[in-house]
Chains A and B, each alone.
Chain A
């Protein structure tokens, strides 16, 4: 019988690639051909054996060795790379220093807070390559957004007093969220603080959460940090703690931790997917809040208030009566603080929308579920497991005895010595008695 043409079919059938008519042709042949049936069954068995082969874990020290070897590799074009970085840094440092001086000197000379200087400060470490400016902001109550407190804290760091203290505070901030600059001069020019804002695009605040089971906490943590910085984000906060003892190695307990990062919104989804690759995802979720409506409202409110403010100022110029002046002054202050309140919210929305927040919980485990070898249910395996358990129990018992013995040893020694002494004493007493 010429079975060559059925050979191909057999392999395709094992790969699940035959449609029902082709499978029918094969089955019909198999019914009458013992050799082919044998071959089919054997190949099927073989495929099952191969399928059940599991992946090996990387051997210990693999990554460390590889790291050493990589570090020995020649760095490409090192000099120019360094030069670029160094030059960039010194340039930014000089600019920052120059600006600091221009802010500090005038007010130091005048001895008075100056509301007229532009509070624009650049700092170094601009990973995304954009300018970051600090803003004068009073603490403004934000509308209902999650992470309210943390955002307010960040904003508080940017409170600028024109004495130049802001420069130091701002300069210490490692990587700040992007913020728009505010120039108070512009008020007098009949333009609005909101001119630079784009009200036509949607303002969507994205948040995400992932809970991961991983096997190497430190490596995964470092990888997340590197990835975050690569896309131009930053680590907002993190913490870690130790879990119960890892019974396989007492000096290496498992870790459990949390890291919250902020990444640019356009990278958010691909970033989340990349994070998920690090281990087994036990929980993942994300949500998006569309605040475009509130945003536009706030912007138009600001514009209205500015109109009010301008008319008040005009009134102020014409006013002559002291009572009137005081009243207008009070109104001006009220309007101004309302404007600031809205601007505060607007800036917060801008910040949240441009940089999404991802919260990652890392749970270190010994073995990831997806890689546990298939459970062998045969009688032999069960017996083997039971035997191993008993042996372990015996070993633990023996260990316990040894430990107890060593621990009690001093006591035993003292006991032994005192018994010995008593014994000798008794003998001496008895001798004395009978002499």
Chain B
């Protein structure tokens, strides 16, 4: 952590809002993007990101100067999002719920057999659906997929942010990617069938 950052943190702890804003300046955009991918829409993302940053401001005194400020900040953002997701009453379509709760359920396997492989779709088509698909992931899978595949953090950093061992990060990531693939396939398949 740089000297400048340490000084800014100290000043922010004393209530200097301008220093705090300078301190978080380089992290705000990533915080917002994490929130956007977790919450699924811009409005909730904005609220979650701002709430998280205010929590960071309030809890600066609990931050130990030895670890990295950014991973601490992103952890707060992640936890804020997960809390908000829990509070939110998800209006999930029953088909998707079955996919989520019954891993490898008959329902999904059936749709697997019917669904065309992802490869027949244009990347553009997939990109349109990717946001929804990510949204349907369970929180613990969503967070690692977002941090690794969307935002490009390393296994090490993710392990620190989410506070689980690297092995767990890997297995959650693999599971998350496969679930995402299956969700995408059934979504695209469903879309295609609409136009047939």
Contact = CB atoms under 8 A, between A and B. Distances in A.
7 contacts: A42-B185, A43-B178, A49-B126, A56-B42, A76-B14, A223-B21, A270-B3
A67 B13 contact: no
Contacts of B86: none
A234 to B, nearest CB: 15
B20 A70 contact: yes
B73 interface: no
A267 B46 CA distance: 35
A76 B15 contact: yes
Contacts of A56: 29, 32-33, 36, 42
Given A58-B29, A76-B15, A223-B25, A49 B54 contact: no
B54 A73 contact: yes
Contacts of B151: 55
Interface string A31-60: 000000011011101111111110111110
A54 to B, nearest CB: 9
B2 A270 contact: yes
Contacts of A58: 28-29, 32
A404 B52 CA distance: 52
B77 interface: no
B17 A70 contact: yes
A148 interface: no
A274 B15 contact: no
Contact of A48 (B7, B28, B123, B150): B123
Interface string A240-267: 0000000000000000000000000001
B127 interface: yes
Contacts of B158: none
A65 B8 CA distance: 21
Contact of B50 (A62, A73, A75, A277): A62
A271 interface: yes
Interface string B50-70: 100110011000000000000
A226 B23 CA distance: 10
B17 A67 contact: yes
A226 B118 CA distance: 51
Contacts of A8: 174
**A contact face: mostly helix, strand, loop, or mixed:** helix
Interface of B: 2-5, 7-8, 11, 13-15, 17-22, 25-26, 28-30, 32-33, 36, 42, 46, 49-50, 53-54, 57-58, 117-119, 123-124, 126-127, 130, 145, 149-151, 170, 173-174, 177-178, 180-181, 184-185
Contact of A38 (B2, B117, B177, B184): B117
Contact of A42 (B11, B17, B181): B181
B46 A63 contact: no
Given A73-B57, A226-B19, A270-B3, 14 more contacts: A7-B174, A45-B119, A46-B177, A47-B149, A49-B130, A51-B149, A62-B28, A63-B21, A65-B50, A66-B54, A70-B17, A227-B8, A230-B11, A230-B19
Contacts of B22: 223, 226-227, 230
A277 B28 CA distance: 13
A78 interface: yes
Nearest to A51: B149
A38 B13 CA distance: 54
Interface in A160-219: 219
A135 B3 CA distance: 32
A78 B14 CA distance: 8
A69 interface: yes
Contacts of A41: 117, 119
B75 to A, nearest CB: 19
A59 B46 contact: yes
Nearest to B29: A58
A330 interface: no
A42 B58 CA distance: 44
Interface string A351-392: 000000000000000000000000010100000000000000
A273 B2 contact: yes
B130 A53 contact: yes
A233 to B, nearest CB: 11
A267 B123 contact: no
A236 interface: no
A67 B3 CA distance: 24
A63 B33 CA distance: 14
A53 B150 contact: yes
